């Protein structure tokens, strides 16, 4: 089963390439700016602060990681700088952040990674350590704060105030880099924090070239081919290797493929989605399906674009669907007014009585069906739930549009014709 091995290796190889993007290309200007700031902090002891802003998935963390990698290749860096990385989702308040900083800087009240003392003590101790540092002789400290906007929601923004304050005074050289996806992050600052921040914002947008304005389809396809082409020849037989790369090159020229990529690009410029779809397509490689075709990509894209609510509706029983149709009629007639169970039941009973060949069900069963619709969150109670109110009289609103219900009914199999007809006419 040599062929089998080949496919397994291919899958592994490509997934590795997609997940671990090691080299960062594009944004050379921004990268240089950031590198300069960090270098000036470590080499000449200037304190700085900067914000790295860009939409989610554009590669902010990748950029920072690649810069740090470059810095750490220099032997001097490790002896002349301390790196402190904080994450807004992990360090959810200043206390946790301080403990992390203290243990990372190996201060004296951190023993074996444990930090002793209360929040106030740690803070005053940390500040004492930072404030007694001299510009010329201290190690510089690089703070990298990811999810920076979450740090702004801390109490009084104490941590940010103190970090920026140290960076504004002639003390230990520190550099504060914040990474966030919010463009209006400056508006979250308190005025005194805002004054201490150096207003250096570096924006990353989804342009991977330096002189190309719009993330064009050709660029996107170049990136994808980079991911899909096999690069090292060691794990594969040479014939397979050549064949694979030839296939991929053909795929890149395929009209259908280019069309589906354009569809993706219209939805979002975020590359993560493309990567995910590639991952899914690559995962399906096996002996029976030796190569990726444009149809595979399109299938994945269709799955991605599917409406999940419509699929939820398609899973309902006929009774539940009838109730949903009754709700839809109610919303159409009364212009999105909220409804309760009794109204829907009346409307449903009218339909039952008009069509003798649909079976009649008990009220309690209908109520069960109604509750099931509530559990899958196709309807939701309006406003506050009043406990005094019986559940039959609670007001609900529909969380799904009429178009979605119609669409779901169109593609369902084995529905009674009466139900389909009733769904089409809201005058019943």
Partner 1 sequence: MTKSPVKKLSRRKDSVTLSSQTVRSKAYRKIAESNSNSEDEEILKGTTFPMPVATPTKRKPPVDKTAAVTPPKMQKNSENEAPLTPQTPSTVLNKLSLNSPQKSNEFEPKKLFNNQYQKARKALHSCVPTSMPGREKELTDLHDFINDCLDKETSGSLYISGPPGTGKTAALSMILEEPQLLELKKVFVNCTAIKSAGAIYARISSELNLKTNSRTEKGNLTAIESYLKKNRKMILLVLDEIDQLDSKNQSVLYTIFEWPAKLNSKLILIGIANALDLTDRILPRLQVRCELKPKLMHFAPYNKQQLVQIFTERLKESNVSSIFSPVAIQMLAGKVAAISGDVRRALDIGRRVVELAEQQKNKGTLNCIENLVAVEEHKNNTVEAVDLKQVVNVLNNVYGTSQNLSEDSDDAFPLQQKIIICSLLLILKKAKNKDITIGKLHGVYKKVCQKRNLSAVDQAEFVGLCSLVETRGIMRIVGKKETRLHKVSLVWDEEEVVNALKDKQLMSSILQDTDCVGKL
Q: Between residue 263 and residue 292, which ones bind partner 1 under the rule CB under 8 A?
A: 263, 265-270
Using the contact rule CB under 8 A, the part of the chain among 7-15, 80-88, 325-333, 346-354 near partner 1 is: 80-88
- Select the residue interacting with partner 1 from 260, 404, 408, 422 (CB under 8 A): 404
Kindly give, in sequence order, each residue whose CB lies less than 8 Å from that of residue 222, ignoring residues fewer than 6 positions away: none
Per DSSP, the residues of 253-301 read H-HHHHHHHHHHHHH---HHHHHHHHHHHHHT--SSS-S--HHHHHHHH
- Which structure tokens are listed for 166? 């140290």
The reply on whether position 35 binds partner 1 by CB under 8 A is: no
The reply on whether position 115 binds partner 1 by CB under 8 A is: yes
Query: Which is nearer to partner 1, 144 or 419 (by Cβ)?
Result: 144
CB burial of residue 400 (10 Å; 0-12, 13-18, 19+): buried
The reply on whether position 385 binds partner 1 by CB under 8 A is: no
CA dihedral for 376, 380, 385, 389, sign (positive or negative): negative
Kindly give, in sequence order, each residue whose CB lies less than 8 Å from that of residue 255, ignoring residues fewer than 6 positions away: none
Q: How far is the CB of 338 from partner 1 (least distance, A)?
A: 12
- Which structure tokens are listed for 189? 């600052």
Q: E strands of 63-113, at which residues?
A: 81-87, 110-111
Using the contact rule CB under 8 A, the part of the chain among 200-208, 227-235, 248-256, 325-333 near partner 1 is: 200-208
First to last CA, the chain: 64
Using the contact rule CB under 8 A, the part of the chain among 38-46, 244-252, 316-324, 420-428 near partner 1 is: 38-46
Q: Rounded to whole angstroms, how far apart are CA atoms 188 and 153?
A: 8
The reply on whether position 86 binds partner 1 by CB under 8 A is: yes
Site for partner 1 in 327-366 (CB under 8 A): none
Query: Which is nearer to partner 1, 181 or 291 (by Cβ)?
Result: 181
Contact string (CB under 8 A) for partner 1, positions 238-267, x = contact: -------------------------x-xxx
The reply on whether position 93 binds partner 1 by CB under 8 A is: yes
Q: Rounded to whole angstroms, how far apart are CA atoms 130 and 249?
A: 56
The reply on whether position 384 binds partner 1 by CB under 8 A is: no
Q: How far is CA 152 from CA 83, 159, 406, in A?
A: 21, 9, 45
- Select the residue interacting with partner 1 from 11, 200, 275, 372 (CB under 8 A): 200
- Select the residue interacting with partner 1 from 83, 258, 345, 352 (CB under 8 A): 83
- Select the residue interacting with partner 1 from 3, 16, 28, 199 (CB under 8 A): 199
The reply on whether position 161 binds partner 1 by CB under 8 A is: yes
Using the contact rule CB under 8 A, the part of the chain among 123-131, 278-286, 316-324, 325-333 near partner 1 is: 123-131
The reply on whether position 217 binds partner 1 by CB under 8 A is: no
State how far Cα 180 lies from the chain centre. 13
- Select the residue interacting with partner 1 from 259, 333, 380, 420 (CB under 8 A): 380
Q: Rounded to whole angstroms, how far apart are CA atoms 80 and 66?
A: 19
Residue showing tokens 């990372």: 104
Query: Which is nearer to partner 1, 6 or 140 (by Cβ)?
Result: 140
Q: Applying CB under 8 A, what is the total number of residues that bind partner 1?
A: 106
Using the contact rule CB under 8 A, the part of the chain among 198-206, 281-289, 344-352, 414-422 near partner 1 is: 198-206
The reply on whether position 17 binds partner 1 by CB under 8 A is: no
- Select the residue interacting with partner 1 from 13, 125, 245, 406 (CB under 8 A): 125
Total residues belonging to the chain: 428
Using the contact rule CB under 8 A, the part of the chain among 2-10, 187-195, 315-323, 355-363 near partner 1 is: 187-195
Per DSSP, the residues of 337-379 read --B-HHHHHHHHHHHHHH-TTSPP--HHHHHHHHHHHHHTTSE
Using the contact rule CB under 8 A, the part of the chain among 233-241, 243-251, 292-300, 398-406 near partner 1 is: 398-406
- Select the residue interacting with partner 1 from 3, 16, 214, 386 (CB under 8 A): 214
Q: Rounded to whole angstroms, how far apart are CA atoms 295 and 297?
A: 5
For 332, half-sphere exposure in the C-beta direction (CA atoms, 13 angstrom radius) is 17
């Amino acid at each position: 089963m040599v062929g089998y091995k080949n496919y397994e290796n291919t899958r592994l190889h490509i997934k590795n390439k997609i997940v671990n993007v090691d080299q960062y290309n594009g944004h050379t200007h921004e990268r240089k700016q950031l590198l300069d700031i960090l270098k000036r902090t470590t080499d000449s002891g200037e304190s700085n602060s900067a914000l790295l802003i860009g939409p989610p998935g554009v590669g902010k963390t990748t950029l920072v990681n690649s810069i740090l990698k470059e810095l750490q290749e220099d032997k001097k860096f490790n002896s002349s700088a301390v790196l402190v990385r904080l994450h807004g989702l992990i360090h959810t308040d200043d206390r946790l952040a301080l403990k992390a900083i203290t243990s990372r800087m190996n201060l004296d009240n951190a023993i074996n990674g444990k930090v002793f003392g209360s929040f106030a003590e740690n803070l005053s101790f940390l500040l004492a350590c930072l404030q007694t540092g001299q510009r010329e002789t201290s190690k510089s400290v690089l703070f990298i704060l990811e999810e920076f906007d979450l740090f702004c929601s801390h109490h009084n923004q104490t941590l940010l105030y103190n970090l920026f304050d140290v960076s504004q005074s002639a003390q230990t050289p520190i550099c504060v880099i914040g990474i966030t996806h919010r463009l209006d992050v400056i508006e979250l600052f308190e005025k005194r924090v805002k004054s201490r921040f150096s207003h250096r914002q570096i924006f990353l947008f989804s342009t991977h070239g330096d002189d190309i304005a719009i993330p064009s389809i050709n660029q996107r396809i170049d990136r994808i081919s980079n991911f899909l082409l096999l690069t090292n020849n060691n794990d594969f037989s040479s014939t397979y290797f050549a064949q694979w790369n030839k296939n991929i090159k053909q795929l890149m020229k395929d009209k259908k493929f280019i069309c589906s990529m354009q569809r993706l690009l219209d939805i979002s410029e975020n590359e993560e989605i493309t990567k995910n779809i590639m991952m899914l397509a690559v995962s399906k490689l096996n002996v029976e399906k030796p190569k990726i075709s444009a149809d595979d990509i399109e299938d994945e894209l269709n799955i991605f674009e599917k409406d999940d609510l419509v699929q939820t509706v398609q899973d309902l029983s006929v009774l539940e669907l009838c109730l949903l149709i009754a709700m839809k009629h109610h919303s159409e007639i009364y212009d999105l007014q909220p409804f309760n169970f009794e109204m829907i039941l009346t409307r449903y009973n009218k339909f039952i009585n008009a069509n003798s060949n649909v079976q009649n069900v008990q009220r309690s069963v209908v109520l069960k069906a109604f509750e099931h619709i509530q559990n899958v969150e196709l309807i939701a109670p309006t406003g506050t739930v009043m406990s005094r109110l019986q559940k039959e009289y609670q007001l609900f609103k529909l969380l799904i549009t009429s178009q979605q219900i119609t669409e779901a009914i169109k593609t369902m199999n084995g529905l009674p014709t009466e139900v389909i007809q009733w769904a089409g006419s809201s005058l019943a």
